Amino acid sequence: MVLGTTSGAGKSWLTTALCRYYSNLGLRVAPFKAQNMSNNARVVSGPGGRLGEIGSAQYFQALASRAEPEVRMNPLLLKPEADTHSQVVLMGQVSAELTAMPWRGRSEKVWPHIAAALDALRAENDVVVIEGAGSPAEINLHASDIVNMRVARHADARCLLVTDIDRGGAFAHLYGTWALLPEDERALIKGFVLNKFRGHASLLAPAPQMLQELTGVATVATIPMQWHHGLPEEDGVFDDRTLSAGAVHTTVAVIAYPRISNLDEFQPLKNVPGVRLLWARSPAELGGLKPSDWVVLPGSKSTAADLFWLRAQGLDGAIARHAGQGGSVLGVCGGLQMLGEALIDTAGIDGNAPGLGLLPLVTTFEVAKTVQRTQAQFGAMHGAWEALAGAPVTGYEIHHGQTAQHPAMAAKGDVAREVIPGIAWQNPAGNVLGVYLHGLFEDPAVLQALFGRAGAAPVPTLDAVFEGLARMAEASFAPGTLSALIVPAFPGG
C-alpha cells in the first residue's frame, strides 16, 4: 500500500509505477483505492455488465497493470459539487441515499462494499497495489477512516509512506505522520519514500539514518523530480514546464473553472509538437489568441456554478470576442452545455442559468445519469473543424444534462448543425463546436485529423509512460525492496 504524508505527495504516481513494475514480473496485478475524491472519472465495467464510474487515477493504474479497469478498483468515488458537498458514487453508480448522508455516518454503510471489493481483487490477483488518500494521520478522521489504515489493517498490507521533499519539511512530515499513528498501525509502515528530490542524494545525510533511529523505518527510495513523466494529473492543472518544446503553431486555452472535471483528457495535446496548453482564468490570458488558436470549455461537475464564475471573471465576453473574430471554440460535456442558450433544471440537479449563446441549444438536467462508452463518426463538418469530417471517434459520456435544438430559435431559422446525433453540434459559421464525448484527444484518429502526422502518434505513448515510471521506481528503490514487499503474499517463496 502506498500512503502519503499529504495530498500531492506522489501516491498516484508511485502506485501506477509499481503496478507496471510488478506486472512486468509476469504477475497478475490490480490497483485499488477504497475512496477517491475527484471530478476526473472514467467509464468502466461493473457488476452484471453494467457500466460505472471510477477515478481516472485507478483507470490508468489498471492499464499500467495490464488489467481491465472495473468498478471494484475504486468502489467509492466522491465527485465534489461544492466546497461542502459531493455526489457519492458507490460501485460505479450514483447513490442518492449516500449523497444525502453526513460524512461520518457514511463510513459503516460503505465499508462492507469496500472490503468485499478488496477481498475479491486479492483472491483473483497475485499482487494488489493499494493507494491511500490524503494522509493516514488525519486524527480528526481516524475513527471513521475507510481509505487508509483501516484498509491497511484489513489487508495486512505492507505500507510505503511517501512525501514530497520539494515542498520542504519532508522529514518532519514523515516522522509526524508515523508518530501520530497507533502502535499497531506503525508496524505496517515498511519504508519511507522521498519524492520529487532535486539534488544529490548524499546531501540528505544524516537525516535518513536519524529518522530510522527514531522510528525503526528505513528510507527505501529517493525519487528524483520529474517534470515530464507523461502521466495525466489526477487533480489540478498541468504544470507549464511540461509543455511541448519547439515552435508553437496552436495555443489551446482551456478555461480552468473551479469545478473543472476530466481535465486529464487533454494530456495527449501536451505531446503533440507545436501545441501549447494554456490554463486560462482571466480575460487577459485569452487576449493574445489568434483565430487559429482554440478556446476550450472543458467538463464541469457544477455547470451552472462554473458558468456563474466564468461570467464573474469577464471570461464570457473574452470567449464571445474570440468566437466573433472567427476563433475556434470547443465545448466538452459541461462546456457544451454552457455554449447553448439556457440550462434548465427542474429536478434540482445542477441549477438554472442562461448560457453563453454561441450555439442555439438548450440543456435540461435529468435525475438519470448517462454513463456510457461511445463510438461514433463525425458527419459533414465545415469551417474551423472541417478536418474532423468523417472521422471515427471513441470516448465516454458522463452527464445528467440532455441537450437539444432550441425550438423557438429553430423556428426563426437559427439551427445548430448536428454533426453526431445527440452528441455533437456545430454553429452555422463553423468555428464553434460542442460535444458530449470525453476522451476526444485520446483518440488517434482525431489527433491525426486535427494535426496530421504530428498528432498521429503522440510521444510518449501511454504504454511507454508506464514503462518509464516502472524503470524510475526500480532505479530509485534500494535493491531487493520491491521484491521484499510482496514476498509475504507467496508463502514458501
Residues that are catalytic: 333, 438
**Residues of the chain by 3-state class (helix, strand, coil), percent to 5:** 40, 30, 35
Contacts of 269 (CB under 8 A, 6+ apart): 252, 275, 277, 441
Q: Which residues contact 112 (CB under 8 A, 6 or more apart)?
A: none
Angle at 339 between CA 447 and CA 409, to 5 degrees: 120
Q: Which residue has the cell 465545415?
A: 382
Instruction: Quickly count helices (H) and strands (E) in the chain.
Output: 16, 25
Residue type, 96: A
For 284, other C-beta atoms within 10 Å of its C-beta total 10
What is the distance between the alpha carbons of residues 287 and 210, in angstroms, rounded to a whole number?
53
Contact 90, 75 (CB under 8 A): yes
Do 18 and 147 contact (CB within 8 A), yes or no? no
User: Could you please report the per-residue DSSP string of 118-176?
Assistant: HHHHHHH-SEEEEB--S-TT-TTTGGG-SSSHHHHHHHT--EEEEEEGGGS-HHHHHHH
Cβ-Cβ contacts under 8 Å for 105 (sequence gap 6 or more): none
